[in-house]
Structure formats: structure tokens, C-alpha cells
Chain A
Amino acid sequence: MSRLRVIGVGSPFGMDRIGLLAAERLLGMRDRLPQGTEVCLRDRPGTALLEDFEGADGVVILDAVRGGRAGHIRCLDPGALQALASPASTHGFGVAEVLALAVALGRMPERVRLIGVETGGDPQAEPPPQLVAALVEQALRTAWECARQAAHVDDCQAS
């Protein structure tokens, strides 16, 4: 069975709430998630996000990303995001920095998927309900994709 975590990251303000809102919806949709999936909400966790990686073989992170086209949902490459890590201050220790630290410490789960929602030029805008719903659907698809990959790996190892 996959040890998968879906983590909504954000803050209670504007578009930055969207990862938390989607994770909150997913908490009530356990029957649509792969068995054993844990759903967590994390308000600006900083390095504490690393704790959610412990014991997980797959992690799906839902978060807002600055810029881009407002409302565009983008599946981000964790490797590319790590390259942007710039731990200049622990106040600004975000998802990119946590991923880079996880790699450095050998604590990166086997599968990490990042689903970002672009804020466009107005990060203070309230997330529209249809966008939250679309993020939830994307999170469900990604969670199942991770679970299938984990099952495939398990099958290969068993044979």
C-alpha cells in the first residue's frame, strides 16, 4: 500500500489560501483517494514541512505560485523548483528550500509532485470556487498516479 501524503500549503490570505482550501475539501473525500492517503493542511510550515516527508514514499504538495497566468494550474518539476532555493532567511524558508534541504539530507520521498496555482498579477484575489474544485480534481489524479507508480514498483520488487 502506498504511503502517500497530500499536503495543502499556504496562508489564510488571498490566492495563497488555495492549497489549504483544496486540502480541506480532500479531507472529506477519502473514498476518492487511494487507500491510506493522508491529507494535511500546513500554514506556512517552513522547515516543519520536512516532518511531513517522514515515512512517506509519495508526497503531493498543493500551493499557490506567484506570477504566471492567474488561475493556471501547473504541475511543477521538483528538481527545477529546488534550483530556485535561496535560504536567505528562515522567515522565507518556503517549499523550494525545503525540497532542496530534503535532497541534501537524503530525506526526499521517492515520488514528489507539486501542483501550483499561478496567482498572476493579483495574489490578493480570492480563489474562485471552480478553481478550488479544479485543483482538487488535479490533486486526485496526481494522487492516483503516485499510487499506481508505487504499486508498480512493489510488483516489480515482488517478482
Chain B
Amino acid sequence: MSRESRRIRVPVLARVEGEGALEIDIEADRIARLQLRIYEPPRLFEKFLEGRAAHEVPDMVARICGICPVAYQMSAVSAIEAAFGHAPSPALLAWRRLMYCGEWIESHALHIHMLAAPDFLGFDSVLEMARAHPEAVERGLRLQRLGNRILEVLGGRSVHPVSVRPGGFSRLPDAADLAELREACRSALAEARALVHWTASLALPEDDQDFVCVALRHPEEYPMYGGRIVSSAGLDIAVEAFEDHFEERQVPHSTALHSFLDGRPYLVGPLARLNLNLDRLPAPVAETLAETGITFPSRNMFHSIVARAVEIQLALHEALRILEALPAREPALAAPPASRAGTGFGATEAPRGILYHRYRFDDAGRVQEARITPPTSQNQARMEEDARHALECLGLDRPDDTLRFHAERVIRNYDPCISCATHFLQLKVTRR
């Protein structure tokens, strides 16, 4: 290849959730500019929420995403309850965790099978992959269906569920539905274990990078709901301190903000969670992971697909554990807590990583100000850093198509949900 300047454009990134593009300018033997351009229109959810009553928030924020609505609901109720001085009961936390397990299972199963796996098996799309590996795609559909069924049973419907509210659920499932879920989770355990082995057997590229992982850390459990925010660089803070350490910046090429920790990009999501919470895996899941022969914590970003599979197995184990113990119903059906003026902070682990919410309420319990920081925003700067590193390692003298494919694969590996990320707009008014 010549050493002249080249521009590589991926005008529409395929197999990511939402609409984004990638632009790379290569000058001689270096990348002069690499931008993950997120051009979906801003969605302005924080502004929609102003003036709304606290009880309306969970149903509104669920609309941010059809793949991970539960994450938005959970971070919202966590922040609302914190603002109103309400401590959720252990039973309520167990029911919420069960519901969250459903979302992890469906979201991860979709990404592994529909979006990521074609990259590692040499196909352009899941449609091509389905002809050659129908059993893998059928497995993905079965697991996704099970995750959706958990959401449907707990939340009334699988997309944008409606039962989550501050203080508790508006309704809980009956015994027959819970027994059906219990049996379905039990039957899927072997398949989930096999999925971990299958992802570990894929031809994943070699990769060794130095990046900072950020995730929640719970005193006892693998983190989903609650805990402190920790990093692989030694950070250990309460959720309330998030904005003291994490800085969001607007960049001209994206309608989503870029996030930095101490001025550096960082990683959230399954690989970061697993790297920081290996000691929180239930024994059978830890055994499966050990059987793969892959060493975690891992510095290979492509091990994210294995981490997702591990988290499916974990979510199934957790769902089954909760369904076998069946938490008490009454505390989880409690009335919403009394409102008061104040600010509440909430962070939970969405399938794609930490989802941070902050709400300021007036004394009538109406939202005065809202801030939502989704995981894809937090990963944006990291994705650009990774793509730059990956292309330089691959060799910039490769043909454009090779570089384009590899860069797309690197971005897809993060499972970015662009639709979730684009709900910020800083309006600059110039008057002449």
C-alpha cells in the first residue's frame, strides 16, 4: 500500500444497537484522527423528566431502550428511594435481582449470537451464520426467549415492563408462573455452561491492552443492583461521589458525551465487571470459567464475549437461587415511599455496564433536575482508544477493507447501544 493519506469511512456501523459511524484519517503511517460518530438525534430524556412525579420516572426512563429497559428502571428506583430516605427490604431487592437476571440473559444472548459471533465465525450477518450454525442461533433464540419470559412474568411484558415502581412492584407473579420460570431456568443451565465453552472456543483475536476497568462491587453478590463503584486503578467510592471522579465532555462529532476517569478513558461492561468481581462468582460458574483455560482478569478486550456468556450462566444460577427460595411477597408490594425534597443517586449494572442516575426532587416529589449517564457514553472514548490501538497493531498498510472490518469488529465487541447514549444536547445559542 502507498504511504499517502487515506480516509476510511464506515458510514453506518452494522450490528450495533442504534446508528453510528466511524471515520479514520490515516496520514503516512499514523492515525491522525479516529472518531466514533454518533449522529442519532439527541433524545432529551433528562428534560422530559423535569416536572414529572417520582412515580412516573421508572416507566418513562424504560422507554430509553427496548433491550435494557429494566436497567433504567432499576437505577431510577434506586435513586428515587435514596432521595426519599427509603431503604428497600431484602425481599424487594431479591425480586428486583430476579428481574434484572432476565434482562442480562436476553440482552447478552442477543449480542453474542446476533451481533458478535458472526465476526468470529467469518460471516457478514446472523442470517449467513444461521445457515452454517443453526444450532448456535437456535440456542441464542432460546436463551433470549427465557430472559424475555422472566421480564414478562415479573414486569407484565418483556419490552418496557410496567411493574417497577419506587417502594416495590405494582404486582408480583403467581405461583404457577414462578414454577414455570424455575423449571425453565433449571433446564437452561447446561446450555448456558456449554455457551461459555463455545465462546471460549471461538477464534478470538490476540490482544493485550492496558485499560482501566470500572464496575460496581457488592459486599456479597456479583454486582447488579447496589454496591460501591470500584476501578482496577484503586478507585473505591460511594455512588454519590460518581460526579466527583467521572467527567463527561461533549465532543463535536457525537450526540453522546464522552466520559473520563481522572482524564483517562475507561471500560464498563461485562469484561470490566468480571475482571473486578471474579471472587463473587458462584462456585459452578467459577468452575466453568476455569475450564475454559482463559485467565481472568483479562486484558484482551475480545474476551468480552466470554464474559457475556459467563454472565448468562451467572444470571441463570442467580435466578434459580431466588426462585427456589421465593422471597416474601408483602414487603415487595409496599406502597411508594413518602416524597420529600432532596437529591438521590443510583447506579446499577446494565448489561452494558454502569448506568448512573441522579434526580433532584422538590418537596412535592417532582423532578427538578435529572442526570442519566448510560454505559455506552462511558465506553465511547475507550472504544476510540481501542480502535486506534487495534488498527495500529494490525498494521496501517493493510487494505482499507481489512482495516474497516477490523475497526467495526472492535466497536461491536463493546455492544454499544447508541440509542441509549444519545440523550444529551448542550444547546449553544448565538445571537447577532
Cα A50 to Cα B159 with chains together (Å): 16
Chain B positions 97 through 141: 1 when the CB is less than 8 Å from some CB of chain A, otherwise 0: 000000000000010001100000000011110110010011001
A48–B148 touching, CB < 8 Å: yes
Chain A, residue nearest B128 (CB)? A104
B130–A101 touching, CB < 8 Å: yes
CB < 8 Å neighbour of B141 from A44, A47, A100: A47
Chain A positions 37 through 80: 1 when the CB is less than 8 Å from some CB of chain B, otherwise 0: 00000011001101100000000000000000000000000000
CB < 8 Å neighbour of A89 from B16, B127, B128, B134: B16
Tell me, yes or no, whether B317 is within 8 Å of chain A by CB: no
Tell me, yes or no, whether A140 is within 8 Å of chain B by CB: no
CB < 8 Å neighbour of A104 from B14, B16, B127: B127
Interface centre among A50, A51, A91, A93 (most CB of B within 10 A): A91
| Contacts A85-B127, A87-B127, A90-B17; A51 near B66 (Cβ below 8 A) | no
Number of interface residues of A (CB under 8 A): 19
B159–A90 touching, CB < 8 Å: no
Chain A, residue nearest B144 (CB)? A47
Chain A, residue nearest B138 (CB)? A105
Cα A124 to Cα B300 with chains together (Å): 47
Tell me, yes or no, whether A158 is within 8 Å of chain B by CB: no
From 85 to 120 in chain A, residues with beta carbon under 8 angstroms from any chain B beta carbon are 85, 87-91, 93, 97, 100-101, 104-106
Residues of B within 8 A of A97 (CB): 127
| Contacts A48-B148, A51-B145, A104-B134; A90 near B110 (Cβ below 8 A) | yes
Tell me, yes or no, whether B419 is within 8 Å of chain A by CB: yes
Tell me, yes or no, whether B18 is within 8 Å of chain A by CB: yes
Interface centre among A101, A104, A105 (most CB of B within 10 A): A104
Closest-CB distance, A154 to chain B (whole angstroms): 28
Closest-CB distance, A145 to chain B (whole angstroms): 29
22 CB contacts below 8 A, A to B, read A47-B144, A48-B148, A50-B141, A85-B127, A87-B125, A87-B127, A88-B13, A88-B14, A88-B15, A88-B16, A89-B17, A89-B18, A90-B17, A90-B110, A91-B17, A91-B66, A91-B67, A93-B114, A97-B127, A101-B130, A105-B134, A106-B134
